[in-house]
Structure 1
Amino acid sequence: MHKSERLFQLVNILKSRRFAITANELANKLQVSQRTIYRDIQHLQSSGVPVEGEAGTGYLITDYDLPPMMFTLEELQALLLGSKMVSAWTDPQLAANAQAAMTKINAVLPNKLKQRVAELPYLVSAFHHDKSHQTTTLILRKAITNKTCIEFHYQDVNQRPTQRIADPLGLVYWGAKWTLIAYCQLRCDYREFRLDRIQSIVPLTKTFDTNPQKSLAHYMELIKAKYQTHSADRTHNKI
């Protein structure tokens, strides 16, 4: 790890703490010696960073505005990959924001890093996410954010048409298709709806509330428990 990167990480750690952290703890976090930590602390203090504390008691930073954050190459690759996925797979508004974020990141990259970032080994395909998908996603995102009900026509796995009114709770990407997680007012229970099977959708003015028994977090807890039970049963049957 370069010294400049280590110093930024050190400042971030100290800034995030409410209480002092010892040089030994800092050394373990950054995987360097305590002597290196002491030298880095002195360097920061001489540079005007208000590091408080001393050896044996610990250090922290209070009331200090950090300079622009520095990212490692791996962190930049992760951010840009995530931005490309948002740009390709969500709605036009989020896509525009993702594009703006990528433009800002690329604008401040040194030329040698731009070349390495351009060689990112991941390709994000948008072939199956057309304007119809983007429109549906935008309506759903706004309905989820504003907690407003939706009415839509849906075609199930057997191609049977159905009409539903539901409380949209979240959008989940399972690795192949986007899925709407909603509380179906017809079934009075959670239901999953694949976005590519939604034929038409209309946002309603009626609002809904979430609670500990009706939320995306609660749904995910149920799914996790279901798959843990299924996995345990499969293991038991193999014995």
Structure 2
Amino acid sequence: MHKSERLFQLVNMLKGRRFAVTANELANRLQVSQRTIYRDIQHLQSSGVPIEGDTGVGYLITHYDLPPMMFTLEELQALLLGSKMVSAWTDPQLAAKAQAAIAKINAVLPEKLKQQVEELPYLVSAFNHDKTHQEITLQLRKAITNKTCIEFHYLDVNQQPSHRIVDPLGLVYWGAKWTLIAHCQLRNDYREFRLDRIQSITSLANTFNTSSHKSLSHYIELVKAKYHVDIDCPENK
């Protein structure tokens, strides 16, 4: 754990406590030595964080709100909405990270602003995102990140099965279904695969490289030129 994250968690552990928390308890929860806790407490106190207490007694913060990171209300609501979408439509690991990020933001918001942020007029449904879909999404995300070739069985619109070996380039949400954009090794061209039709996915041992003519951004440029639409896309890597 980086020091900045440890200090952040330390402040959250001490905020709003009725009773002091001992250095030993803090050390156990953060998995560091008591000496590290003492140094962190001194660092926070010198930075203006009003930590009360002493060695052998414990520490607490009675009244303290960190500044809300200069976010406006609408910016915070946008982050919360994005987190809800990630939680509902992606894999469990990414969903947990999104929820953890929002928890960190909520932990340092004044109570009034926190209530305003939570009054979000959007409902994000996860009705069609079952456990199998989540597992496939997780496998694909890891394969895309690591540039690992994959193979899977796929059902077309007529429910006809086929076996594919592809280089996965990205996941695109067009507004109805998630789609895998990949470079098909058999066809030597881009192909789109709806995630709800992918079955029996396996990551292979071999990897692939992207290029100016084999990447998600290149695919998006072709789509933009063909359909005359504007689509944001990450840079080539």
TM-score (norm 2): 0.67
Q: Quick check: 2:68–2:109 contact (8 Å CA) kept in 1?
A: no
**Where do 4+ consecutive residues of structure 1 move more than 2 Å?**
none
Structure 1 position 226 matched with structure 2 position 198: no
- Over the matched positions of the two proteins, sequence identity in percent amounts to 81
Q: Which moved more, 1:209-218 or 1:99-108?
A: 99-108
Q: After the TM superposition, which residues 1-239 of structure 1 pair with which residues of structure 2 at under 5 Å, given as runs?
A: 69-228=69-228
Question: Cα deviation per residue 1:127-155 (whole Å; 9 max; x = unaligned)?
Answer: 11111111101110111011110000000
Rounded Cα–Cα distance in structure 2 between residues aligned with 1:99 and 1:79: 11
Rounded Cα–Cα distance in structure 1 between residues aligned with 2:105 and 2:209: 38
Q: Quick check: 2:151–2:202 contact (8 Å CA) kept in 1?
A: yes
Rounded Cα–Cα distance in structure 2 between residues aligned with 1:217 and 1:91: 23
**Secondary structure of the corresponding residue to residue 190 of structure 1:** strand
Rounded Cα–Cα distance in structure 2 between residues aligned with 1:223 and 1:141: 22
Q: Quick check: 2:68–2:108 contact (8 Å CA) kept in 1?
A: no
Cα RMSD for the two superposed structures: 1.4
Alpha-carbon offset, residue 80 of structure 1: 0.6
1:72 is aligned with what amino acid?
A: T
Alpha-carbon offset, residue 69 of structure 1: 2.3
Paired residues, what number?
Answer: 163
**Secondary structure of the corresponding residue to residue 106 of structure 2:** helix
Rounded Cα–Cα distance in structure 2 between residues aligned with 1:79 and 1:105: 10
2:142 is aligned with what amino acid?
A: K
Rounded Cα–Cα distance in structure 1 between residues aligned with 2:118 and 2:75: 14
Unaligned runs of 5+ in 1: 1-66, 230-239
Unaligned runs of 5+ in 2: 1-66, 230-237
Q: Which residue of 1 aligns with 2:16?
A: none
TM-score (norm 1): 0.66
| Richer in helix (by share) | 1
Alpha-carbon offset, residue 114 of structure 1: 2.1
1:162 is aligned with what amino acid?
A: S
Question: Cα deviation per residue 1:165-212 (whole Å; 9 max; x = unaligned)?
Answer: 000000001111000000011111100000000121000011111100
Alpha-carbon offset, residue 68 of structure 1: 7.0
Q: Quick check: 2:77–2:118 contact (8 Å CA) kept in 1?
A: no
**Secondary structure of the corresponding residue to residue 144 of structure 1:** helix
